[in-house]
Amino acid sequence: MEHPAPRTLAEIVTDGTIACADADAAFTALIGRPGGIEFNRDGDRMEVRAARHGAPDVSTAGTVVAEIRDGRWTWRSPRAADAAARFGIPQLSGTRPATDDLLTAARTLHGCAPGLLAPMPDGTTAVVCLDPPQPMGDTRTALITAAGIPIAGEDLPRALSGFAAIRGLDVRVDGPVWLFSDGAAIRVEDGRLRDIAGGLDIDPVRADALLPSIESQMYLDATFPGATAIADLVQGLITLETPTGPRMQARGVVLATVTGDTWCWGWADRNISAAPGTADCHRIRDFGRREGIPVFVSPTLPLSLARELDLVSAAKPVLGRWFHTTTQLTADTWAIVVFSDRGLVLPAPTVPVVGAVIDTIRGTDLGGIDAHRAVTAYARHRALGILPDPGSREYMQLRTQDGTVTVHFSPDGRVMNTTVG
């Protein structure tokens, strides 16, 4: 597809959003936490040296594309002047109030290179775009990085086609799937990146987690009925107390916080992300980056989407903790805590238990989850025998220690019912 020319400053910013985010991630990975950055200016050229802890310094150079003084941005870039005239975008020339959009636009016009703000002795700040080549990720890596930055749904198609144009890639759109000429592929749904090819899809992850999570919560509710929870983020502990007295303390991880209609992963919540009780939550983001699962990489999500995808359950196998509870952190924020404990172990699976667990999804549209996969994953999780043909689409027989549960599927793939024997 052909990428349309920009008509506004906002469209130039959108064009460079993904490539700039990838450049930032790659440059940050290169220099780590620098001990300091030195700038040496010569006219419109700038030498840059970043001191690294325990590693050789990084030396590079760039072009001064603008100057900022007293909050005012003045362009010094011939490329920007040319773009202002060619596309009729006045914000790309003259002096303007300094904004983040101007910085991103400058970077987009200069190959989406890393952009640095260099304080000068005369009180101005030089805006520097580094020279190519600079570190960058491959297409898949860049798209995974893009999953972690906010892109409005209506801007996503332009951001994707702009990224392809910047990278010199052809792109073909087939329904919700975007196919890039280097082999990368993504799926877009409802204005969001849904999946990135090359790893696991979110739906199989959800399928594998669904029934083990349901059974764990059934057991927790039966063992600690009506329990309330208190989280100790410093110690990484969750305490459950019931109205009748039973009490348990377990190691827990704050999976996410919920404020209003917003879900925020524990690793992204600045108020708690450094607490010991949140440390393991970073594994969710790492897993999402490795497998290309955008909802695990995006810091925040609409609560409605988190519920639709049942992200609480989906995250449990990544952390290896199958129980969860909620606790209030502040007047308007709740925490979702996942936990495990040696004293909280599921009893051996029996015919009544297995039937009851699977019956919770009887006749239910699972919203993208393959019910056959969900039942198979549950059987493996609980070490149940699958007889006689695990590939059957009409029924599945699960062997427990005290008998057999037969799961019957409807023609549209839903669990229809279970029978014994």
Distance in angstroms (rounded) separating the CA atoms of residues 141 and 26: 10
Q: Which two tokens stand for residue 275?
A: 């607490």
What Å distances lie between residue 214 and 156, 219, 396, CA to CA?
A: 35, 9, 19
Distance in angstroms (rounded) separating the CA atoms of residues 284 and 278: 11
- pLDDT of 247 reads 86
- pLDDT of 196 reads 95
The domain limits of the chain are: 9-130, 202-340, 351-420
Note down pLDDT in tens along the chain; length 421 residues: 789 999 999 999 999 999 999 999 999 988 887 788 999 999 999 999 999 888 899 999 999 999 999 999 999 999 999 999 999 999 999 999 999 999 999 999 999 999 999 999 999 999 999 998 888 999 999 999 999 988 887 899 999 999 999 999 999 999 999 999 999 999 999 889 999 999 999 999 999 999 999 999 999 999 999 999 999 998 899 999 999 887 899 999 999 999 999 999 999 999 998 898 898 999 999 999 999 999 999 999 999 999 999 999 999 999 999 999 999 999 999 999 999 998 899 999 999 999 999 999 999 999 999 999 999 999 999 999 998 676 678 999 999 999 999 999 999 999 999 999 7
Residue 203 and residue 368 in contact, taking contact as beta carbons nearer than 8 Å = yes
Instruction: Say which residue the tokens 């898949």 belong to.
Output: 140
SS3 45: strand
SS3 146: helix
Distance in angstroms (rounded) separating the CA atoms of residues 118 and 147: 29
Distance of CA 410 to the CA centre of its chain: 34
- pLDDT of 135 reads 86
Distance of CA 39 to the CA centre of its chain: 35
Residue 40 corresponds to which amino acid?
N
Angle between helices 202-223 and 351-359 (to 10 degrees): 120
List for the chain the helix, strand, coil content (%; round to 5). Answer: 35, 30, 35
- pLDDT of 391 reads 67
